[in-house]
Chains A and B, each alone.
Chain A
Amino acid sequence: DAMVIQNPRYQVTQFGKPVTLSCSQTLNHNVMYWYQQKSSQAPKLLFHYYDKDFNNEADTPDNFQSRRPNTSFCFLDIRSPGLGDAAMYLCATSGSGAGYGYTFGSGTRLTVV
């Protein structure tokens, strides 16, 4: 089945130690998104790629970076995780039409110790 796959499901990292989360898709969608979701909050958009064009949200900290080497893969790099970065990180894809909903991966739950 076509889908969005995130690895790993659970990630524990040390305070300040760089960590990379990965996302792949078989839907051939041209738009990929990274969201951060904390408990009882709505998903918060960090950035998105429209094809190769990177779009950063104004309030996304510099600590968060992203790479999209090809259509299928997108990575989230957290350069120096802090305790406040512990959250669920969700990757999503969509087509580019206004009526497209998003397809989410299962998420990576990040714990910072």
Chain B
Amino acid sequence: NAGVTQTPKFQVLKTGQSMTLQCAQDMNHEYMSWYRQDPGMGLRLIHYSVGAGITDQGEVPNGYNVSRSTTEDFPLRLLSAAPSQTSVYFCASSLGRKYTGELFFGEGSRLTVL
């Protein structure tokens, strides 16, 4: 099984550019989420989704958009990139709202905004 797949693994943007980080899972998980990881700050939740057509904001949603049209995919969009969005982004999934088990993480996407 592929698990959680993120693309691209590395990306360099200029301030003001837009891009989409892709996330796909093949485990039929209801729940998907995006985190950003910054040195000394751990992981912070950006957006999450409990199923197709349902999304909600996490701790640090500003500057990011998400959508969930299928169970498998949960893309993260940066509409106008800023240097403060330089970070490593992780997508994670789990079985569903009633399952208090583990999150399965992708390998991360490293984004640099110049």
Pairing of A with B: no
B interface with A by C-beta (< 8 Å): none
